[in-house]
Structure 1
Amino acid sequence: MKNNNKNINTNFIYKIIEKDMFKNNSLNVKTRFPPEPNGHLHIGHAKSIFINFNISKKYSGKCNLRFDDTNPLKEKKKYINSIKKDIKWLGFKYSKNIKYASNYFEIFYKYAMILIKKGLAYIDKLNKKEIKKYRGNLTKKGKNSPFRNRKIKKNINLFKKMKNGYFEDGSMCLRAKINMKSKIIIMRDPVLYRIIKTKKHHQTKKKWCIYPTYDFAHCISDYIEKITHSICTTEFTDNKILYNWILKNIEVKNKPKQYEFARLNIENNILSKRKIQILIKNNIIKNWSDPRLLTISGLRKRGYTPVSIMNFCNYIGITKKENFIQMSYLEHFIKKDLENKVKRAMAVLNPIKVIIYNLPKNYKKIIKIPNHPKIKKFGTQKIILRKKIYIEKKDFEETSKNKKKLFINGKVKLRYSYFIKAKKIKKNKLNKIEKIYCKYYKKITNKKNKKKKKIAIIHWISIKDSIKTKFKIYKNLFKTKYPEKKKNMIQYIDKNSKKVKIGFSQKDILSKILKNYIQFERIGYFMLNNLKKHKNITFTCITKLKK
């Protein structure tokens, strides 16, 4: 995908950058995309990728891909590989010189030691629960750790021993010495380093047994890489104060600046990696690429295109105000992307037999129709009308007076073909309709005014000219609009969010596929699954058409 900067919506971050460039003509704009390799990327990351990489392109700058790999307990090499794959798939190029926070472990250690020597950091022996208790909350001020006023020399020696593996995990940590009574909780002596000996790091192996926290490593990484604009979501607004405190007290020049934008929230979905892990752990989904998730791998498996995702990110814009976006906006952009790129065909997902009894037994009418109503270069196709056809079950109701449906003594038009009127039905022992007997008419007119009635048009498929086809249909995973806000999100799972239907498509359907995509008329856009893995033809529904 080629990103056309002329079509990218302007926003407050661009205005900040342009103001900075006006003040400093020699400013080399530099951004970064710093994912933690502890899961797969989701559409919120796609928005961040869109922002950071397009800023660097717009202002002839550079965007670093940096893995924030400071917690070996949660990180895996497979996540690094999946993140690189997703960024490439979205259409963005990153430098071969990929950055890792772990590349700077020696530098982080050096700056931590500077803070200790300045009396701005200390070794604390409180455990996790005790630290949390001492920290207080929004209504209760924190209190000092009993180890807070340890002498500098002792702190230096303990920190060296931590580095050399003298102590066990959780037995002590390094904390910044700021203000335990601060109104901003993150400034109440935040942890800067912790001991992790139980897990080997994917990059540094067993070289280190102490690891910096995100807040300590991130700002220094930005400084080392000469990032000019460190862009993150508003959940890190308070972290910005710590970001600036650390850079100020390690006494570096040309400090990077952090700017925040609203994180992406989409109704009926979750984006939290931690919560996705919970779904996997509870066997609600198998993995990160479940098509009901808004992970990049899940969207790719569902059939979304890079263009549709990037156009969506551009459309929703960049603001500071948190809000929830309707899923229909994302669906709009995949429809818009595929609308003039794929051919049309007919398929029936929930088939019911129709016998057109006033057609001869061996009746066969070949009908020539366009592969696309607007694009002539897609050519034409032939469909065949016979005595026996399939229609959708939902297009028939025995006693309905709904003009959009077929019912006894009601009429509809078969798409591209004749009008039919339902005359009688045949039911099985379970009282379910097996067959509908219909009469065909070449034309239907209103005898009073001789004008055509407004009659519903339904799709169909000849039984003899169809092939059994599997259709995977997905809906939102959650029934509630705001699952992120629920304490127990699992109770809001929609158990019918995944369905497999066995229906029928045209026998020559594979000849109509363009780049794995097709639109089944009146149903939706579908992606053909990998035929090598499936003996039968299988389609995944990307999004349904509006009725």
Structure 2
Amino acid sequence: MSTPQKSPNEASSSTDFIRTIIAEDKQTNKYGGRVVTRFPPEPNGYLHIGHAKSIYLDFGVASEHDGGVCHLRFDDTNPTKEDIEYVESIQEDVNWLGFDWGEHLYYASDYFEQLYQYAMQLIKTGHAYVESLSADEIRDYRGTLTDPGRESPYRNRSIEENLDLFERMRAGEFEDGAYVLRAKIDMASPNITMRDPTLYRIRNVPHHRTGDAWCIYPMYDFTHCISDAIEGVTHSLCTLEFENNRPLYDWVLETLDLPKPRPQQIEFARLNLEHTTLSKRHLRRLVEGGQVSGWDDPRMPTISGLRRRGYTPEAIRHFCEHIGVAKRDSTVRMSLLEYFIRQDLNQRAPRAMAVLRPLKVVLLNYPEHDEETLEAINNPEDPGAGTRQVPFSRELYIEREDFMEEPPKKYFRLAPGREVRLRYAYFITCVDVIKDDAGQVVELHCTYDPETRGGSAPDGRKVKATLHWVSAAHAVDAEVRLYEPLLQTPDSADSDSPDDFTQTLNPNSLDVLTGCKLEPSLAEAPPGERYQFERQGYFCVDSRDSTPARPIFNRTVTLRDTWAKVQKAQNS
């Protein structure tokens, strides 16, 4: 798979600040004309829509330059949280989005020996020391934003003692937390990140790639700048939360005196999305706490969740292109993301009729054992999509909400004595309402006008409503899952703070409808196939739970932004 070329709709309308920096570097021949970026996920969870923005930028910027490449590098330095499942899911998601790293697949664990030797070099030059303080003590000694830190009593250990302790740390002589390796920088720095940050820690845990070969693991801030330099990365694109870490990035490269020109870190604003959380810690809590069915639950903002829900890679790429690259954090409306999936599916999704909350209709004057075949349009947006055949018979299903016994003003759908159109079929008129003992409507008796086949009357009379329907004799029973945003409030829960964000979870984020009636063309719809259910929205065959005997459809998005209307009504 090659990196996809942008369509005219995806082409960037302006040059952002990152592309300006890269253009200037190419003009000055800073990197010999090379452009090398990298996408460095930590394999401790599934990727989400925020990562999609980074992927689109990292791979997109590289693809815009001759010979430009983007590396996929796994930051696998914390074996307590990482798993091969996450490695495989990340590769699948990047490929699904339309991008390919080619030969440039790397792991931070590839460099464990080199990183260890670089750490030894820092110790030998007096720029690192082994710390004996506990984690809580280190935190206390570090100080605050207004108070400088205090030097550790172990900061001035001899080089020989530090080398001995660090070698013994590697040999597995100590328990977790007994020691860490710290950089010796400046405990009075106004940037707390530079107050002797931790470079290595003890983790007596097997690694998913290196097994038991290591029991000390490097920290991300030490690892990723050196990895960038080893791989020849030119522009290391990070989100804004790493801005304070850039001085440490540069300090490590300069102190180790790695060859110039060295990679440069450039920060951009991360994606924040209304009504959801893009904190991997929060998403993990949802999965482990059972609030969702897994990382690929269609309510999740993960790429696998969006894929299962029916989103397309093209729609996500268009969305990422539209929101662009900025230096300041902001929150994007959920309706904007939904706009792009509607635009995409409107062009590609075939139409079908599905009744989600069925109410039976009996056409009294239609011959009891007759049936016929009517022609329906597959996709009015695609002239080449053609038509399909839908069966019609005496007994039908319509949506329960398409009938009211005592309709209010401006309700134009079916009611006693009222005539409406059945899509692709006939005009019908309700003549009787059948109820059960509890007074609930269970069946409608109607008549049809055989002269209106195809949906128009030869005498020119008009009706004000057109209803979708399904023949009862041919209907496919299905389960349909309707989704709303995870969070009730528009505020995104993107902080990794320990606050219980689950208090804001939307209790109506999932509505499971059983006994839905679908037209027979959907009987053998394959997993992942997308459709527009007429008048309902866009739906996708569930890729995990759906079977031919028990088809399940996920609603991708409504035809209109109904959630905004619900929120407005709740707030009024």
Identify the TM-score tier after normalising by the shorter chain: over 0.9
Which of the residues 326, 345, 349 maps onto 1:342?
Answer: 349
Per the alignment, residue 55 of structure 1 pairs with 61
Is the 8 Å Cα contact of residues 418 and 440 (structure 1) preserved in structure 2? yes
Query: Pick from 469, 484, 493: which aligns with 1:484?
Result: 493
Deviations 1:2-42 (A, max 9, x none): 33276432322111101111111732111111111111111
Counterpart of 1:200, as a letter, is: P
Change (3 A) 1:396 1:243: same
**Does residue 383 of structure 1 match 2:390?**
yes
Distance, in Å, in 1 between the alignment partners of 2:550 and 2:213 is 51
Q: 1:180 to 1:309 in 2, by over 3 A?
A: same
1:231 to 209, 232, 237: 237
Among 8, 30, 46, which residue is 2:11 paired with? Answer: 8
Aligned residue in 1 for 2:507: 495
Distance in 1 separating the partners of 2:489 and 2:25: 43
Give 1:447's aligned residue: none
> Is 2:312 the counterpart of 1:305?
yes
Q: Does 1:540 align with 2:558?
A: no
Shift of 1:515: 7.4
Please give the alpha-carbon distance, in whole angstroms, between the structure 2 residues aligned to 1:388 and 1:219: 69
Q: CA deviation at 1:143?
A: 2.1
**5 Å matches for 1:127-276?**
127-197=134-204, 199-252=205-258, 253-276=260-283
Aligned-partner Cα distance in 1 for 2:443–2:463? 26
What is the CA deviation profile of residues 253-276 of structure 1, one whole-angstrom value per residue up to 9, with x for unaligned ones?
321101111111111111221111
1:88 is paired with a residue whose SS is helix
Pair 1:178–1:515, CA change in 2 (3 A) = closer
Whole-angstrom CA distance in 2 between matches of 1:37 and 1:438: 60
Alpha-carbon distance in structure 2 between the residues aligned to 1:345 and 1:529? 16
Alpha-carbon distance between aligned partners in 1 of 2:207 and 2:26, rounded to the nearest angstrom: 40
Aligned equivalents of 1:356 and 1:371: distance in 2? 26
Shift of the 456–138 alpha-carbon distance from structure 1 to 2, 3 Å rule, reads farther
> What TM-score results when the alignment is normalised by the length of structure 2?
0.88
Q: For each residue in 1:318-352, what CA deviation from the matched residue of structure 2 results, as whole angstroms up to 9, or x when unmatched?
A: 11121111222222222222223232111101001
User: Does the C-alpha gap of structure 1 residues 522 and 505 become closer, same or farther in structure 2, counting only changes over 3 Å?
Assistant: same
Partner of 1:103: 110
| Aligned mates of 2:144, 2:428 — CA distance in 1 | 71
Amino acid of the residue matched to residue 356 of structure 1?
Answer: L
Output the CA distance in 2 between the equivalents of 1:535 and 1:513: 12
CA spacing shift, 1:140–1:107, aligned 2, 3 Å: same
Q: Tell whether the 8 Å contact from 2:435 to 2:441 is kept in structure 1 after alignment.
A: yes
1:427 to 421, 427, 435: 435
- The 1:509–1:206 alpha-carbon spacing in structure 2 relative to 1, beyond 3 Å, is closer
SS of residue in 2 equivalent to 1:13? helix
- 1:269-308 aligned within 5 A: 269-308=276-315
**477-486 or 153-162, which moves further after superposition?**
477-486
1:264–1:374 Cα change, 3 Å: closer
What's the CA shift for 1:440? 4.1
After TM superposition, give the deviation of residue 537 of structure 1 in Å.
2.5
Q: 2:446 aligns with which of 415, 434, 438?
A: 438
Q: What is the CA–CA distance in structure 1 between the aligned matches of 2:526 and 2:181, rounded to whole Å? A: 59
Query: Which structure 1 residue ranges, 5 or more long, are not aligned?
Result: 444-449
Q: Which residue of 1 aligns with 2:466?
A: 457
CA contact (8 A) 1:343 1:514 kept: no
Q: Structure 1 residues 534 and 273 mapped into 2: Cα distance closer, same or farther (>3 Å)?
A: farther
How far the C-alpha of 1:362 sits from its partner, in A, is 4.4
Amino acid at match of 1:328: S
Q: What corresponds to 1:27 in structure 2?
A: 33
| Cα distance change on mapping 1:53 and 1:483 into 2, 3 Å | closer
- After TM superposition, the structure 1 stretch with the greater mean CA deviation from structure 2, 488-497 or 240-249, is 488-497
Question: Quick check: 1:123 aligned with 2:135?
Answer: no
Shifted more, 245-254 versus 260-269: the winner is 245-254
> 1:281-312 deviations in whole A, cap 9, x for unaligned?
21112321111111121112112122122121
The CA distance in 2 between the partners of 1:341 and 1:514, in whole Å, is 16
The equivalent residue for 2:456 is none
State the one-letter code of the partner of 2:183. A
Kindly indicate whether the alpha-carbon contact (under 8 Å) linking 2:183 and 2:196 is maintained by their aligned counterparts in 1: yes
Task: Tell me by how many angstroms 1:379 deviates.
Answer: 2.0
Q: SS state of the match for residue 99, structure 1? A: strand
Identify if the C-alpha distance between structure 1 residues 299 and 532 changes in structure 2 by more than 3 Å, giving closer, same or farther: closer
- Measure, in 2, the Cα distance between the counterparts of 1:132 and 1:236: 19
- How far does residue 393 in structure 1 lie from its aligned partner after superposition? 1.2
Is the aligned partner of 1:405 residue 2:417?
A: no
CA distance in 1, matches of 2:194, 2:550: 59
Q: CA–CA distance in 1 between the matches of 2:248 and 2:437? A: 73
The letter for the 1-side match of 2:477 is K
Looking at structure 1, the residues matched to 62 and 507 of structure 2 have their Cα atoms a distance apart, in angstroms, of 43
Q: Quick one: structure 1 residues 429 and 131, their matched pair in 2 at CA, closer, same or farther if it must change by over 3 Å?
A: farther
1:446 corresponds in structure 2 to: none
Q: Secondary structure at the match of 1:526?
A: strand
Distance 1:407 1:185, change over 3 A: farther
- The CA RMSD over aligned residues, in Å, is 2.5
Shift of 1:359: 4.1
User: How far apart are the structure 2 equivalents of 1:415 and 1:362?
Assistant: 22
Q: Percent identity?
A: 43
1:521 maps to which residue? Answer: 534
Structure-1 separation of matches of 2:201 and 2:516: 57
Instruction: Return the offset for 1:360.
Output: 4.5
Deviates more, 1:222-231 or 1:496-505: 496-505
Q: Displacement, 1:506?
A: 1.2
C-alpha distance in structure 1 between counterparts of 2:417 and 2:270, whole Å? 55
Aligned length: 540
Matched, 1:18 2:35: no
Which amino acid in 2 is paired with 1:535?
A
Bigger Cα displacement from structure 2, 109-118 vs 352-361: 352-361
Cα distance, 1:225 vs structure 2: 1.0
Deviation at 1:166, TM superposition (A): 2.1
Deviation of the 1:153 alpha carbon: 2.6
Distance (Å, rounded) in 2 between the aligned partners of 1:80 and 1:504: 40
Q: What is the CA distance between 1:529 and its match in structure 2?
A: 3.7
Q: Residues 461-485 of structure 1, C-alpha deviation per residue, up to 9 Å, x if partnerless? A: 2212322122122222221222416
Instruction: Work out the CA distance in 2 between the residues paired with 1:542 and 1:336.
Output: 12
Deviation at 1:155, TM superposition (A): 1.8
Q: Secondary structure at the match of 2:70?
A: strand
Distance, in Å, in 1 between the alignment partners of 2:285 and 2:528 is 35
The yes-or-no answer on 1:43 pairing with 2:46 is no
Bigger mean CA deviation after superposition, 26-35 or 328-337: 328-337
| Cα separation, partners in 2 of 1:174 and 1:514, compared to 1, 3 Å | closer
Q: Secondary structure in 2 aligned to 1:260?
A: strand
In the alignment, the residues of structure 1 paired with residue 219 and residue 7 of structure 2 have an alpha-carbon distance, to the nearest angstrom, of 36
Give me the whole-angstrom Cα distance separating, in 2, the residues matched to 1:539 and 1:160.
Answer: 57
Relative distance call for 1:514 and 1:64 in structure 2 (3 A) is closer
Q: What TM-score do you get using the length of structure 1 for normalisation?
A: 0.92
C-alpha distance in 2 between matches for 1:101 and 1:108: 9
